[in-house]
């Protein structure tokens, strides 16, 4: 211990400032590299999109910040999941709760269901994602109103066993954890505010 004291006494404020400056510079470099890596992944993420993101964000050329934001939100929302072109055959069965309403399921998974037959003229499809009771309640209200107008399908994406349904469940779990964390902390950290409160 006594051999350490002379060494500690020889450290000056300049040494401390140099060490602190080096640590801050290293952190800035790491953040810049991570930011640029996110922005670089923008093209691979958006390739094949049906939505033109340049028009959506209102920029002629998407800025580095916008590309990084899209890539980060994409990563947080869907991880490494890739879009699929595979279709899932659907079947439907009468709802036990709402008269004249047909509830969709994956074909062959629900006894007594028959293949879905959608006609553009007389069919209404109400799609919902069961993430919290509010989404489901509103969709059921719309379905009960629409059921009197013609053939109405209630299509709950979580009702269909698929990788997309699992992705929605994972997103809901992450959202719930984030909500609980924000509630326990009492604030939303400043770095998260643009993503949480953007319009």
115-151 pLDDT tens trace = 988 877 778 888 888 766 677 778 878 887 888 777 8
What's residue 94's pLDDT? Answer: 92
28-81 pLDDT tens trace = 999 888 888 877 788 777 777 777 767 776 777 777 787 888 888 888 777 777
The residue with greater pLDDT, 78 or 152, is: 152
pLDDT category of residue 93 using cuts at 50, 70 and 90: very high
Write the DSSP string, the chain: -TTHHHHHHT--HHHHHHHHHHHHHHHHHHHHHHHHHHHHTHHHHHTT-SS-HHHHHT-SS--HHHHHHHHHHHHHHHTT---------EEEEE-SSSTTEEEEEETTSSTT-EE----TTTEEEEEE--SSHHHHHHHHHHHHHHGGGSEEEEEEGGGS-SHHHHHHHHHHHHHHHHHHHHHHHSS--GGGHHHHH--
What's residue 185's pLDDT? Answer: 75
Per cent of the chain over pLDDT 90 is: 11
Per cent of the chain over pLDDT 70 is: 85
What's residue 199's pLDDT? Answer: 44
């Amino acid at each position: 211990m006594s051999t350490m004291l002379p060494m500690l006494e020889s450290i000056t404020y300049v040494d401390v400032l140099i060490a602190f400056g080096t640590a801050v510079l290293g952190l800035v470099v790491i953040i810049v590299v991570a930011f640029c890596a996110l922005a670089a992944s923008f093209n691979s993420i958006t390739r094949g999109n049906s939505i033109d993101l340049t028009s959506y964000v209102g920029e002629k050329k998407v800025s580095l910040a916008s590309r990084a934001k899209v890539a980060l939100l994409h990563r947080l929302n869907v991880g490494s999941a890739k879009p699929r072109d595979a279709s899932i055959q659907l079947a439907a069965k009468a709802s036990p709760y709402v008269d004249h309403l047909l509830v969709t399921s994956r074909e062959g998974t629900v006894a007594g269901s028959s293949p879905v037959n959608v006609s553009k003229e007389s069919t209404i499809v109400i799609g919902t994602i069961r993430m919290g009771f509010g989404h489901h309640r509103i969709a059921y209200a719309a379905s009960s109103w629409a059921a009197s107008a013609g053939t109405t399908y209630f299509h709950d994406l979580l009702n269909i066993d698929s990788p997309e349904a699992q992705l929605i469940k994972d997103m809901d779990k992450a959202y719930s954890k984030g909500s609980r964390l924000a509630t326990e902390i009492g604030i939303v950290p400043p770095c998260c505010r643009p993503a949480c409160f953007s319009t």
